[in-house]
């Protein structure tokens, strides 16, 4: 089965074609792999059309959709009714769902009605969160009426990091208490107990949790209410600030962690503070995931920062020695993308870096939706 995979993130659109079924799909990418920026709808449509023309016919397309809400907890074949329901969820992830659905609509029109379209959801990996982890301490009537709960995100990435991290460490998934760290423009952690997500840092929307490129992560809800109730910010200004002007951008004025690291090394006090806030939140959140698991056997890094920033990995590991996390400095420094084990020999906690392959998870989701 040949699947076109479309991965719409907050800052780019990644395209690939995966050939083969099951484990054979991991043998590689057929055709080309392409990453498009966010140049606008017309340019994105042109880029999609060129890519589809280059790779030729496919049996299905599989699309990453960040927020599936309470309705979508597994991959689904998209028909017109499903598409309308997906549109209703756009307000829950305004930075992610709308561009993903734009790409989905474009691919459907380019491939035609005979090629099935499958939506795969980042929230699906967390759909089975224990009630204690998923439930907010809000009025029960609110939660029941509006589906308020911790949904969690980056599920496709966390699933692959879990499976591939276990393979790299030579351990079966069902024998591991593992913390998966997806760090990029958006960042989240997941506590995975023998293959099952039991806690995660993002909540009802992808704004919660860790410090990110333009999102703040966890913020006192009383502060947010105060800003609006006192008229200091309108709801629209608050939403825009939380989505686009917070995180590293709010602290240091830049969104790329590499720029923050460079400026901090050069003595920029603002950049140093941004790094300290980022690392402090990261270490604390990893420890919280370990508490949810009752211990830790493996720590896995993935995503743009998780894969490519030995500085961030070292800063986190340095504060986690009490948990048994011990990283080999040379192996960590050498690992700047791709798969690698970076824990010290005989360390109690295995530490691995996993190259993100959401395309393989998307392709597997398409096969599941279409063939069971």
Q: How far is residue 93's CA from residue 10's CA, in Å, rounded to a whole number? A: 10
- Full domain range(s) for residue 61: 2-121
Q: How far is residue 43's CA from residue 26's CA, in Å, rounded to a whole number? A: 30
Task: Give the DSSP per-residue string, 169-234.
Answer: HT--GGG-EEEEEE-SSS-EEEEEETTEEEEES--SSTTSSS--SS---S--HHHHHHHHHTTSS-
Please identify which of the residues 19, 24, 122, 174 carries the catalytic annotation.
122
**Looking at the domain assignment, is residue 41 inside a domain?**
yes
Of 96-100, 150-154, 161-165, least confident by mean pLDDT is: 96-100
Same domain, 296 and 203: yes
| pLDDT higher than threshold 90 for residue 9 | no
Tally of CA atoms within 13 A in the half-sphere of 78 that contains its CB:
29
- Boundary-marking domain end, from 121, 137, 157: 121
Same domain, 112 and 244: no
Which pLDDT value is given to residue 27?
A: 44
**Looking at the domain assignment, is residue 243 inside a domain?**
yes
Paired with 254 in beta bridges are: none
Q: How far is residue 210's CA from residue 152's CA, in Å, rounded to a whole number? A: 12
pTM of the model: 0.91
**Looking at the domain assignment, is residue 130 inside a domain?**
no
**Looking at the domain assignment, is residue 31 inside a domain?**
yes
Number of domains in the chain: 2
CATH (domain of 294)? 3.30.420.40
Positive/negative CA dihedral, 45, 239, 306, 311: positive
**Looking at the domain assignment, is residue 224 inside a domain?**
yes
Which pLDDT value is given to residue 99?
A: 86
Same domain, 49 and 176: no
Same domain, 115 and 175: no
Same domain, 311 and 252: yes
Find out whether 318 and 326 touch, Cβ atoms under 8 Å: no
Same domain, 58 and 206: no
- Boundary-marking domain end, from 121, 142, 159: 121
**pLDDT tens, residue by residue, 296-327:** 999 999 999 999 999 999 999 999 999 999 99
Token pair listed for 100? 């993903």
Which pLDDT value is given to residue 90?
A: 84
What would the mean pLDDT of 337-365 be, rounded to a whole number? 95
Same domain, 297 and 189: yes
Same domain, 183 and 72: no
Same domain, 330 and 234: yes
**Looking at the domain assignment, is residue 233 inside a domain?**
yes
Note every long-range contact of 333-341, with CB atoms under 8 Å and residues 24 or more positions apart, other chains counting.
Answer: 335/307, 335/310, 336/307, 336/308, 336/310, 337/307, 337/308, 338/307, 339/164, 339/168, 340/168, 341/168, 341/169
**Looking at the domain assignment, is residue 162 inside a domain?**
no
Same domain, 63 and 201: no
Which pLDDT value is given to residue 65?
A: 94
**Looking at the domain assignment, is residue 63 inside a domain?**
yes
Same domain, 227 and 301: yes
Which pLDDT value is given to residue 91?
A: 83
**pLDDT tens, residue by residue, 105-149:** 999 999 999 999 999 999 999 999 999 999 999 999 999 999 999
Q: Look-up: residue for tokens 């947010």?
A: 224
Task: Give the DSSP per-residue string, 320-354.
Answer: -GGGT--B-HHHHHH-SSS-EE-BPTT-SSEEEE-
Closest CA to 101 of 53, 68, 142, 150: 68
Q: Does the active-site annotation cover 122?
A: yes
What would the mean pLDDT of 260-277 be, rounded to a whole number? 98
Same domain, 217 and 294: yes
Of 66-70, 128-132, 198-202, 267-271, least confident by mean pLDDT is: 66-70
Confidence of residue 46 (pLDDT cuts 50, 70, 90): confident
How far is CA 189 from each of CA 4, 29, 56, 194, 252, rounded to the nearest angstrom? Answer: 28, 27, 37, 16, 23
């Amino acid at each position: 089965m040949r699947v076109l995979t479309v991965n719409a993130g907050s800052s780019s659109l990644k395209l690939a074609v995966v050939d083969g079924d099951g484990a054979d799909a991991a043998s590689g990418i057929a055709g080309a792999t392409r990453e498009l920026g966010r140049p606008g709808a017309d340019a994105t449509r042109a880029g999609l059309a060129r890519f589809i023309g280059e790779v030729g016919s496919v049996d299905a397309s599989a699309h990453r959709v960040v927020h599936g809400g309470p309705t979508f907890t597994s991959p689904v074949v998209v028909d017109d009714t499903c598409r309308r329901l997906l549109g209703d969820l756009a307000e829950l992830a305004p930075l992610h769902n709308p561009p993903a659905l734009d790409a989905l609509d474009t691919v459907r029109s380019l491939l035609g009605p005979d090629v099935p379209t499958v939506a795969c959801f980042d929230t699906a990996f967390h759909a089975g969160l224990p009630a204690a982890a998923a439930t907010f301490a809000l009025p029960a009537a609110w939660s029941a009426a509006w589906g308020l709960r911790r949904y969690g995100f980056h599920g496709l990435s966390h699933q692959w990091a879990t499976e591939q991290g276990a393979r790299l460490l030579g351990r079966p998934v069902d024998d591991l208490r593992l913390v998966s760290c997806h760090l990029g423009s958006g960042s989240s952690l997941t506590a995975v107990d023998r293959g099952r997500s039991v806690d995660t840092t993002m909540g009802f929307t992808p704004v919660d949790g860790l410090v990110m490129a333009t999102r703040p992560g966890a913020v006192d809800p009383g502060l947010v209410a105060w800003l609006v109730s006192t008229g200091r910010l309108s709801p629209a200004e608050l939403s825009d600030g939380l989505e686009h002007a917070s995180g590293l951008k709010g602290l240091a004025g830049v969104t790329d962690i590499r720029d923050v690291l460079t400026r901090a090394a050069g003595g920029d006090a603002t950049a140093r503070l941004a790094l300290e806030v980022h690392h402090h939140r990261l270490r604390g959140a990893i420890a919280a995931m370990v508490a949810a698991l009752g211990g830790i056997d493996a720590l896995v890094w993935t995503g743009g920062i998780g894969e490519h920033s030995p500085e961030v990995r070292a800063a986190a590991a340095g504060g986690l020695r009490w948990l048994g996390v011990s990283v080999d400095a040379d192996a960590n420094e050498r690992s700047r993308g791709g798969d690698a084990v970076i824990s010290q020999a005989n360390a109690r906690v295995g530490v691995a870096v996993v190259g993100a392959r959401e395309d393989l998870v998307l392709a597997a989701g398409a096969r599941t939706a279409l063939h069971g």
